[in-house]
Structure 1
Amino acid sequence: MDAQQSLTEEQNATVETYCHGIDKFMVKFKESRDLEALTSIEEWNVLGMIYHLKTGDAKSAIIKYLVCHDEIFDIFTLFWKNLVKGKFSIFLKLKKKKKLLALLNIIGNLTDCSDEFNYAFGNKGLLTLLFRDLKTRTLGDTLICYALKIIYNSCWRVPENRVICREFVDTLQEYSQSTSPEIQAIAFLALSYIVDKSEVHKISLNEPCLKFLLHALRSAMSEPDGRSRVYFYSTFEVLQGLNQLAINDCNKLLIVELGGIDVLERILMEEGSSNEEKLWAARGIWQLAFKEENKVKIRQRTTLLHTLKKIKETTKDSDVKEACSGALFVINEVFDIDDEFKGHTVKSEVSSGHVEGHIMISYQHASQERMLRVKRHLEESGYNVWMDVDKMKGDILDSMAKAVQRASVVLVCMSRKFKESQHCRTEATYAYTLKKDIIPLMLQDQFTTEDWLGALMGMKKYYPMFSDDLMRQCLPDLVSELSDRGKREKLDLALPLLDKVTGASNLTTHGPPENDVDRSGGIKDDKPTANEDEGNSRMQTSVDLVQWDEDVGEWLRSHGIDMSKDIFKKVEGIRLKQIKKLLNLAPEFCLTSLKDELGLSLRVVLSLVDALEKLSI
């Protein structure tokens, strides 16, 4: 009853009442443990009342309390085994039959609203029990639907149950070929959460099945609470299920062909749609747009594009914003490398201010630790490396796009999770669209690059790095292949030219003196000699920038910088100090940011650099 501590007084009273009813029901059942006797226990009504409670903390607390009673699962097991064995027929002439069926439905329905209930079904072996009986192929359609719905709920809501169900993929595949669209739909939905994405051929929908799912979605959308009274699915779960099924490229085309985009657009446009529903509708558009045929059709839907842009600009939900951004980005920027259109002209323009130079690491988050080690090695070898662990700010898609545009080489880190990720697919296909040099790294043993990732990689040589030994062996070869692409030295060639333009006598002071940098990329602990200090001090004026206020404007004017620009009107001494430090620590990034992010002309950038070089902080 600990869960009650955070409830209101009214909620606590509700929980107490229901928990008391559960206790009475369980005591009655334990007295006989007989199936027929259940029909005489009026207290069983409490279970139906729990299901119809409004979703919230009180309902969750009550179901958690129910799950603590093993007897509820004993009741289910007793009931199911008698049904399967045909012993239920002894009740056919009894009026009690309806009560028993109602009780069975209630227990099944509870899997539709509780993670704890679903977890218990897996943990207590009840999913295995259902699969075992499904494999006999002797059940009628009603029992098949009932069993499959529990299995689907358990997989959708509780990832741990998917491991249990992996053993029975073949059984679900058999039912996905049923003559009943309803049975097909439940089997496909369950499979979509179980199969490895290299097995996407196992979730290839047919037209009757998809029509059933779209009918269920429209039915749910028409209800105030977003749950169909006919099909018993919620808008959210069907949307999420369609996203899972749309990983299969054939399904992407069929969903659009049968009007799926109309439904997704309606969800995005309706004010009554929840953020959760809008999130999965936008993700659906994003997923569908990876097929070029779909993208052509989506681009013609000006209302949909306007709606995505409007939601992106106005929503306060970061996930919804990101999904809309992703959809728009793929629709407008990314070319489908896995399609018959790949012979067409590929858009390869990049934004103004484009600067090639870094090595970009495109990876899925699960591989972050290993790729940080690769990043470190490349940096120590003199490369300028971009990796979103420390570069992403603001709009993630915009940051990614700029990173790809400015890359000399993109390292694509292949794994199953990379292949499954919408973000990773967007990133990798955008690199292909811009005709960037791509070098594959294999981060998972025995992983096969099929579908879009296989088309992207083609016959490219890849470097296996799924073990420490392989990484040590391959990194020198990777460095050799990269050659001068993305090398800091190559980028720094532009900096000495500033000597002639600005008259600065030593622009190498952007970074530490050469003697203070060891060849592994780290800074030595040795302090400069007295002569070195003296030499540097003669070149610079020592000031305390933090104390500057009005002095900043005068100082900027004295160095020929146009103070009419809005960007300089709010500059304070502490900001100048930060720019000066950034110039020392990361000159390439600082110069690019001043030019691209602040919109400064090259002349103004050079003037500012020259002025800052003469200051010592």
Structure 2
Amino acid sequence: MGCGTSSTPSRSELHGRSVEEGPAIPRRRPKQTNVETVIVGPPTESSGFHAPEVDETDHGPIVRRCIEFLKVATSTGGQTARRSPLDPEGLQQTAGQRKALYPEFVASLERLHVTQSYIDDSSMESLLTVCRMSDLTDTELANELVEKRYPELFVKIWNAVYDKDIYLSPGLTREYIAFNLLKQATISFTHVSWNLCVEMGSAKHGIVPLIAKEFDHPLMTQEGLRSGVKRALWNSPRETLKKMINILANIIRKNIDNKPVFREAQIVPHLQELLKCRFMIMRAKALFCLVYLINEDENEALNTADDNINFVLKVLGKCLDQRGHYSDHYTFSAEVVVNGIVHMAVNDSNKVKLVKNGVLPKLITMLKTDNIAEKRAAAKAVWKLAFHEDNKKEFKTNHTLISVLKELQSSETEHKILKACSAVLWMLDATGGDGVEKGQHETVEKPPTLPGGKDNGEMEVQSVDGDGFDDDKPHVMISYQWGCQMQMIKVKELLRAAGYHVWMDVDNMGGSTLESMATAVERSAVVLVCFSEKYKRSASCRTEAEYTYKLQKPIIPLRLQLDYDPDGWLGIMIGAKLYVDMSRPDNLEEDFSKLKQQLGERGRVAKEGFGTLRSTIKSTRKERKENIDGSGGQGTDFNRSTTQRRSMNAKNTGTQENVCAKAVSAWTNDQVNAWLTKHGLVGLKNRFDGYSGQRLLGLKTISAEAPDFFYSELKKDLGFKSLLEIVTFKQALDGII
């Protein structure tokens, strides 16, 4: 059946292209050649469109060279060199080629910026040079493309060469080749550059909606893919569609902040439709883009059955079977697949399905490799999966997993791997000793210095025992995802100025150690849960939040992402709590006032008592020093473990004793009764019959969040009769930190 007739005008005829703009492309019937072809379903008479094969011999040397590049790139999964795009060995081997090609590459970009035509020989040569460099690129070079205005160039070339008939008209051969070269180069550059993905995914360039329009082309729909188009492999509609999805997947997986742009462009329904496609590679591309874009409701609908989970694990298995753990067939590395699994595992039901269908042995294999990126992705995945109780039980009995994690904990130097392994062991109660105490040490932010400060010969208020915590004053803890760090530093400073005692990991989320985090939660008066979608997806943040919830610490939710409604585990935790909306930077003063109202006096250092407090801290520091070493203050070692500090504090019978909330959470009713007796409340034991430590912590939470209700219930429900009983009991509760 003919793919075009003499009545179909070419773009050059429509726009009157001159001879100087390049030779006219003759329209001709497709020849029967030996070119490798792919049949996409059986041809039908009713489809109304059949794309022509490109004649590879009649358009000059540059066209033939471009086609040859695209053919090889397609057969190797997007790279003319058979390697994973970030393979260290491959990058080292091609360093000389990058350096040699760089001057020509820069000159080509400059020419493409100033030209108005992209189908003459010179422009196509420049495009081919850009493609050749994309095949050799490393992250540093790809990052340069932001300064070299590559996103603007992408839009300019796309608009210049694109035509609705570009897939069908033989008169648009050069445009079609330029179009493919542009997409091919962009795939490779975005694969390795976070900076470029941030820029290309931003709303200002309009690249995402520009690409999204292609989903509506008849050849890109399910019907189009099924109807039957016979073309050279590099030139087929499904290869064009794969290139589009590759670009989109790179942009979103490198920077999930681009998600609103994708959602607005209505990309999710198109990708969901492609999951029905009979071409497995197309399904894989669509699925690994979707995992970054869908919300909880869409995820439940998408993964009701285990089909997609099993398919993902099949792709991962194929990657692990190949040298370098890179699948030429699916054009994925094991690292990329597992990073997708990490996002898939944000949903709790997916966590169980992934483990049930055999993801764990594959992750253990990756944890044993020498590839840092692979180990990092695998460790993060295990951490994310360990949040589900069913998985946790299975992990605890997997001696191979525990052994590998402990080995990495003791020998690994890469911080993110170390942190993830330590966190999983901590969650599984398999740490042993003090192995969790790794990494940098955090600080507690100090209230404002009194007038005169150091000039009056006194020290500023600091940690009592050198661990970054003031044992004598519960603090306001800020739990946040590092992407919001600058915003929360402003809030922290405002809190300090208002007299609050603040704990914040002032380096970043990655710098927090497990013991510091745990101690920060344990000693908090209240925790600010600064939530956003990134907070929900972060394993670090969930670890903090769940520990806060376990200890029944009061929380105040702060919304940092405009219009974000928490769902999944975060939605359950926040529930119907009143949150402070701090997603509007220009409204910080008003929002902070609301935060202060909710905080009240919790974690606050009253101005009128600040001098007394400082004297008390100095006195306590001296007493504790004497109690610890028994030497009147000589030769004290302040770098003691949390356990040692608590043990020594217990010996100081002259002051109110504090009890760790973590320990209280495990108390039985007998231990609760012993606690009441210790505080002179033996007469209340019958009223607390059946109370565990968890219920006691719940009562403490109510006392902080709803004090009026708390005091009325002490009288009505628990039968407290005297003011002395109420005061004594409340003081005892306050001693749980």
Q: TM-score, normalised by structure 1?
A: 0.62
CA distance in structure 1 between the partners assigned to 2:478 and 2:215 by the alignment: 43
CA distance in structure 2 between the partners assigned to 1:87 and 1:125 by the alignment: 27
- Which residue in 1 is equivalent to 2:351? 252
CA distance in structure 2 between the partners assigned to 1:594 and 1:289 by the alignment: 27
**Share of identical aligned residues, percent?**
22
Helix, strand or coil for the counterpart of 1:132?
helix
Contact (CA 8 Å) 2:274, 2:283: kept in 1 or not? Answer: yes
Helix, strand or coil for the counterpart of 2:310?
helix
- Which residue in 1 is equivalent to 2:593? 472
Structure 2, unpaired ranges of 5+: 1-93, 226-237, 432-469, 621-625, 655-737
- Equivalent positions of 1:100-115 (< 5 A) are 106-107=184-185, 109-111=187-189, 113=191, 115=193
What is the number of equivalent residue pairs in this alignment? 485
Does residue 618 of structure 2 align to residue 510 of structure 1? yes
Q: Which amino acid aligns with 1:431?
A: T
- Which residue in 1 is equivalent to 2:572? 455
- Which residue in 2 is equivalent to 1:346? none
Moved more, 167-176 or 290-299: 167-176
Structure 1, unpaired ranges of 5+: 1-6, 335-353, 497-505, 513-555, 580-589, 608-617
- Equivalent positions of 1:22-171 (< 5 A) are 33=119, 46=129, 49-53=132-136, 55=138, 67=150, 70=153, 74=157, 78=161, 81-84=164-167, 86-88=168-170, 106-107=184-185, 109-111=187-189, 113=191, 115=193, 119=199, 125-136=206-217, 138-139=219-220, 140-141=224-225, 142=238, 143-157=240-254, 162-167=259-264, 168-171=266-269
Change (3 A) 1:253 1:229: same
Within the candidate set 315, 319, 336, 1:237 is matched to: 336
- Which residue in 2 is equivalent to 1:402? 519
Contact (CA 8 Å) 2:310, 2:357: kept in 1 or not? Answer: yes
Q: Which amino acid aligns with 2:327?
A: S
Contact (CA 8 Å) 2:161, 2:175: kept in 1 or not? Answer: no
Q: CA deviation at 1:172?
A: 3.6
CA distance in structure 2 between the partners assigned to 1:206 and 1:66 by the alignment: 44
Q: CA deviation at 1:317?
A: 1.2
Change (3 A) 1:99 1:296: same
- Equivalent positions of 1:248-327 (< 5 A) are 248-270=347-369, 272=370, 274-327=371-424
Helix, strand or coil for the counterpart of 2:518?
helix
Helix, strand or coil for the counterpart of 2:565?
coil
Contact (CA 8 Å) 1:265, 1:304: kept in 2 or not? Answer: yes
Helix, strand or coil for the counterpart of 1:332?
coil
Contact (CA 8 Å) 2:109, 2:126: kept in 1 or not? Answer: no
Helix, strand or coil for the counterpart of 2:477?
strand
CA distance in structure 1 between the partners assigned to 2:409 and 2:532 by the alignment: 30
Q: Which amino acid aligns with 1:510?
A: K
Moved more, 308-317 or 117-126: 117-126
CA distance in structure 1 between the partners assigned to 2:187 and 2:579 by the alignment: 49
Q: Which amino acid aligns with 2:352?
A: L
Q: CA deviation at 1:90?
A: 9.1
Q: CA deviation at 1:222?
A: 3.6
Change (3 A) 1:32 1:9: closer
Change (3 A) 1:126 1:440: closer
Q: TM-score, normalised by structure 2?
A: 0.53
Contact (CA 8 Å) 1:184, 1:209: kept in 2 or not? Answer: no
* Superimposed CA distance per residue, residues 204-261 of structure 1 (whole angstroms, 9 cap, x where no aligned partner): 4753333332232233334444421111112222121211221122222221122111
Q: Which amino acid aligns with 1:33?
A: I
CA distance in structure 1 between the partners assigned to 2:411 and 2:119 by the alignment: 58
Helix, strand or coil for the counterpart of 1:389?
coil
CA distance in structure 2 between the partners assigned to 1:461 and 1:196 by the alignment: 23
- Which residue in 1 is equivalent to 2:488? 368
- Which residue in 2 is equivalent to 1:219? 318
Helix, strand or coil for the counterpart of 1:165?
helix
Question: Greater relative contact order: 1 or 2 (C-alpha under 8 angstroms, separation 6 or more)?
Answer: 2
* Superimposed CA distance per residue, residues 546-577 of structure 1 (whole angstroms, 9 cap, x where no aligned partner): xxxxxxxxxx9xx96399xxxx8xx5xxxx7x
Contact (CA 8 Å) 2:478, 2:504: kept in 1 or not? Answer: yes
Helix, strand or coil for the counterpart of 1:361?
strand
Q: CA deviation at 1:454?
A: 2.6
Within the candidate set 313, 327, 336, 1:228 is matched to: 327
Helix, strand or coil for the counterpart of 1:193?
coil
Change (3 A) 1:278 1:205: farther
Contact (CA 8 Å) 2:531, 2:557: kept in 1 or not? Answer: yes
CA distance in structure 1 between the partners assigned to 2:599 and 2:128 by the alignment: 68
Helix, strand or coil for the counterpart of 2:428?
helix
Q: CA deviation at 1:300?
A: 1.5
Q: Which amino acid aligns with 2:100?
A: A
